[in-house]
Structure 1
Amino acid sequence: MIYNKQILTGLEHDQYEHSFDREALRRLEKIPFLTTACEWVTSNFIERIYNVQYTGSNLKVTKENYPKIYQYLENACRILDIKKIPELYITWEYEINACTIGAEHPIIIINSGLIDLCDDDEIMFIISHECGHIKSNHMLYHMMAQCINLVVDSIPGGSLLAGGIQFALYYWSRMSEFTADRAGLLGCQNPDAMIRAFIKMAGLPIKEFNNIKPDTFIQQARDFKMLDYDGMNKVVKFFSIADETHPWTVMRSAELIKWIDSGEYNRFISKHYLP
């Protein structure tokens, strides 16, 4: 699974960070006391609850019990130069997906469907994406974005007081996915596998897995990107996704294709690091 892949020794997340992520984070950090509040809420409530929920209900994967599955995580951390390997759990869901919880002690959770329905490099793309969140120190605000509805609902008048913060967190969360997607591609180092993973996540039926049409999906992503030139479509997109923590799948693939087309991905792999 790590054959013919560059080991990106010395990799820093700001080297591949998406500009949307960087700008959204700057705006978020300007909100008074937000970081302090997030640290307190996350460490005292959210992280503890999630930790108990996932570690108490799902299967912990180690190199001793399921070494091949664990190797995906080990390889992703090695390629992306992540020194401390996070814990890995599997949950019984057949959606092709994964998530990361915890700011102080991150834990990666992958769905069973990811392992069953994806090939090695597709799995590496998704697990490396999750590792990218950890490497970029996304998890503090990510945890708050995932749970702000609970926090807001527990405070009288919370929706009025925290509405702007809520949308700022959601917006940054969506933008941070573009950086994590780049980490996913740097981890799998296989653009074709990245496209296949997105096609499967976008809804391809299992019966069509042997009939994947990457070119048509790439064209769909390019066409979607072209819609940005229409101001009304920008408004429609904003209100359609404003309360989501993740961008649309086609939007994410469009941004990665743009990164590849610019030559930045290839220059990043070939110029800056040695295997």
Structure 2
Amino acid sequence: MFGPVRKSVFPCFAEHFAAKSRPVSEQVMVLQNIGTSVLVSPNQLPELHQLLVEAAKLLNTEAPDLYIRQNPVPNAYTLAINGKKPFIVIHTSLVELLTRKELQAVLAHELGHLKCDHGVWLTFANILTMGAYTVPGFGMVAGFLEEQLYRWLRAAELTCDRAALLVVQDPKVVISVLMKLAGGCPSLADQLNVDAFLEQARSYDKAASNPVGWYIRLECCYP
């Protein structure tokens, strides 16, 4: 529905393998978020809750829990654990940096990860790659798997950016989010120029059109 990311032909195996292999740290993260973050609801930060509900409705998916967490690093992430309701976490610094429409784009991006079950496939791919590195003589195989994982990560992020675009219906809003994450701060946010950032991106594409640039693009999971 959202783009190039497709599931494996062995979904049952992958989901079972990932579920059995998830670390205890995920359970710790659940407790940490409940204990150290604010759960958004109709009665708690209702404006943010409404942004989430609207985005979930447009993407035809169930709205997960949403937590706001005090953190100086602008970020948002999603966690889905078998048997528990998935949740999205947004850092306070990201809330301060973005407009309400941009925040909805971020929420839609995270909903895209849930809609496509990216957590299951990422866990499976990571374990497969790490396992290959531990087998003597499988270094080249592990390297190949790692390269494919980076490609998949880029495709997954692009897919979720499309989910954001479906919700906000404005490419400049999505681009503005990327621009602010790259080099924005609340005191300069009103001076940032999306068109200038797009021109910078075109310059990067031109400068990176060589083997070194290709390798750097591959190493960076987010385009």
TM-score band w.r.t. shorter chain: 0.7 to 0.9
User: Which whole-Å CA distance do the structure 2 matches of 1:130 and 1:152 have between them?
Assistant: 26
Q: 1:103, 1:143 within 8 Å by CA — same for their partners in 2? A: no
Q: Is the 8 A contact 1:199 1:217 kept in 2?
A: yes
Taking the aligned partners of 1:199 and 1:234, their CA distance within structure 2 comes to 21
Indicate conservation of the 8 Å contact 1:38/1:140, yes or no.
Answer: yes
- Could you state the TM-score of these two structures normalised by the residue count of structure 2? 0.81
Which of 202, 207, 213 aligns to 2:182? It is 202
Name the CA shift for 1:158/1:93 in 2 (closer, same or farther; >3 Å): farther
Alignment of 1:243-254 (within 5 A): 246-247=221-222, 251=223
Q: Distance in 2 between matches of 1:181 and 1:87?
A: 20
The answer (yes or no) to whether the contact 2:18–2:124 under 8 Å persists in 1 is: yes
Choose the corresponding residue for 2:18, options 26, 34, 38. Answer: 38
| Aligned-residue offset at 1:167 | 4.9
- Cα distance 1:120–1:101, how it changes in 2: closer, same or farther (>3 A)? same
Q: How many residues align?
A: 217
Indicate if the aligned counterparts of 2:41 and 2:49 stay in contact, CA closer than 8 A.
yes
Structure 2 counterpart of 1:127, from 82, 86, 107: 107
Q: Is structure 2 residue 66 aligned with structure 1 residue 79?
A: no
What is the CA distance between 1:112 and its match in structure 2? 0.7
1:47-126 superposed matches below 5 A: 47-82=26-61, 84-104=62-82, 105-126=85-106
- The 1:107/1:184 distance shift into structure 2, 3 A limit, reads same
Maintained 8 Å contact 2:14/2:124: no
Equivalent positions of 1:212-223 (< 5 A) are 212-223=192-203
Match of 2:191 in 1: 211
Matches within 5 A, 1:157-172: 157=134, 163-164=142-143, 165-172=145-152
Q: Tell me the secondary structure at the aligned position of residue 206 of structure 1.
A: coil
One-letter code aligned to 1:100: T
Report what 1:190 is aligned to.
170
- The percentage of aligned residue pairs carrying the same residue is 26
Cα 1:141–1:74, aligned 2, differ >3 Å: closer, same or farther? Answer: same
Q: By how many angstroms is 1:61 displaced?
A: 1.2
Gaps of 5+ in 1: 1-13, 252-275
Q: RMSD across aligned C-alpha pairs, in angstroms? A: 3.2
